Structure 1
């Protein structure tokens, strides 16, 4: 399943790469026909699509490679770098677009054949939207930041091209040529914002920042499959590198259990977490023995060593499970008070 998923990701990003080359050529041809600064800005931004899609293809290929001696956690982090690289290119392109727009506002140039050039831009909008939507949907399924980033970039390109068509229509209706340069300026600012968001997400991933949505998903999985023998889970850490998910946690189990039973219980927990994720999942569980304070919150029936009656459950949520301390120890203090 993982191999097929990696092949699908590579085919999708290759499709994006080839389409970006063809559509960039069409946009430059539209600029040749019209001399429109806004169309030129759109064409220049599409060069970024080509470079970014090429690098994303390499990053997806590399992230699919198995772990090795030098990369014990796999190669998935390259997808964060790919998204950051794409964001940086977008920001650089936006700077050139903004400067060119300001220059054209101060020194307007004639525009021609707008209707004909707009036809080519409309075609690129349809193609970019279709491919971008596919990349976004499949990227979210596969938890691939490189696919999501490239898909979002293509969708952004479609939106900006649509704004461009609107500005061309306004020029045809009003005759005000300056609308072209103003549209290009706004387009550049919009690109800079989206590039900054990509870079920020990339840096967060490279720095192992917590993904609240991903953490909540893991917590919900644990909560919905909670076993009475899982007395306590704490020190939960969740990180994702490409499609690979890494989960660490401490699990409190009855201290009198034999090692074989502890092993089987941990194995069941690992399988539950792995089955909840589409990509490769690596789980490390540290087993802790229970203490007498656990009795207040332990649901194990007919426990031979129980010292206190069960009183209440401890709420399993993201705020509690990430703590590097046993939840029942803190909760038992409040009960005894």
Structure 2
């Protein structure tokens, strides 16, 4: 898995560098500020791909004494750096657009520029879709962020092409700065989205996708002895996932039986995750006067109250720090 991440991020870096040269050549022959915006964003692509290459390398390293949870969180930092660079490029493009509105350049060879930008946009689109697909498959935020960035670059490139076509056919040179300014706003917004996601990961904000997939896995293998699961916390760093939860078991089980139930739940979670999974389970005894109402053990010999409900396990009630009998109160 890590080797595949490494391969795709190196491909991204190499392709980004080549397209950077093509875009700056396109600006050189056209003197178009709108095309310059695309070229400047490609500088960000190259820098971000270089940083992403290092983050993929670091996140693949095993945990050590100084990093007991591994190095996967570097991918959040990588996405944040990439988003920040995108926003800075957008701000510079905004400045350049306003400047060229008052001091315009003479536009030349727009046909050749359009063809070159079309080529780079097509390549970025194919690579961006591939990186997003691989990022989801390999649980890599860095690959997903790089893919999203390239798709953003693709969209801006093709919108830019439309703008340059309009300039070419109308002869209205001032539109070059107008289109560049509109692109800069879009680029800044896209960068903000990456920074927001990065900060959320670094601050251990709950990941709804990771939580829901964990809940679904547990529900698929739910056992009657697992009376309830609560106080569940799910954190994901790159391809590493960490889960803490409390498991309510019948109070009459001996220590060996409790161990077996805990180990079975851990195996269920670990076997259904392609990356590294770390599970910590705290076992709680049931409270007969409160848990009997929803306990699903039909042949329980110490039952005090009949079963009168079955509580569905959801991300909401499994995340609360309380046994599920509180839902019946």
> How does the TM-score come out when normalised to structure 2?
0.98
Q: How much does 1:327 deviate?
A: 1.2
- Pair 1:259 & 2:270 matched: no
**Conserved 8 A contact 1:30-1:121:** yes
- Aligned mates of 2:178, 2:254 — CA distance in 1: 73
What is the SS of the residue equivalent to 2:78?
Answer: helix
Q: Does 1:284 align with 2:277?
A: no
Q: Deviations over 1:72-115 (max 9, x none)?
A: 00000000000000011111111110000011112222100000
State the Cα distance separating 1:228 from its structure 2 match.
0.6
1:1-337 alignment, distance < 5 Å = 5-292=1-288, 293-328=290-325, 330-332=326-328, 334=329
CA distance in 1, matches of 2:146, 2:327: 46
Residue-pair matches, total: 328
SS at match of 1:169: helix
The unaligned stretches of length 5 or more in structure 1 are: none
CA contact (8 A) 1:141 1:278 kept: no
1:186-241 deviation digits (Å, cap 9, x = unpaired): 11110100111111100000000011122122112222221111001000100101
SS at match of 1:296: coil
- In structure 2, the residue corresponding to 1:69 is in which secondary structure? coil
302-311 vs 132-141, which deviates more?
A: 302-311
CA distance in 2, matches of 1:196, 1:257: 52
C-alpha distance in 2, partners of 1:71/1:260?
32
The whole-number CA distance in structure 2 between the counterparts of 1:178 and 1:269 is: 65
**Secondary structure of the equivalent of 2:292?**
helix
- Distance in 1 between the 2:305 and 2:229 partners? 20
Distance in 2 (alpha carbons) for counterparts of 1:327 and 1:295 = 11
Identify which range, 271-280 or 64-73, moves more after superposition.
271-280
Structure 1 CA distance, aligned partners of 2:273 and 2:187?
Answer: 33
Distance in 1 (CA, whole Å) between partners of 2:240 and 2:280 is 14
Q: Following the alignment from structure 1 to structure 2, what is the Cα–Cα distance between the partners of residues 76 and 142?
A: 13
Q: Secondary structure at the residue paired with 2:295? A: coil
2:76 and 2:160 mapped to 1: Cα distance? 31
Question: Deviation digits for residues 154-185 of structure 1, max 9, x if unmatched?
Answer: 00001100011101111121111112111110
Write the distance in 1 (CA, Å) between the matches of 2:143 and 2:259.
37
Whole-Å separation in 1 of the counterparts to 2:272 and 2:173: 55
Secondary structure of the 2:236 match is strand
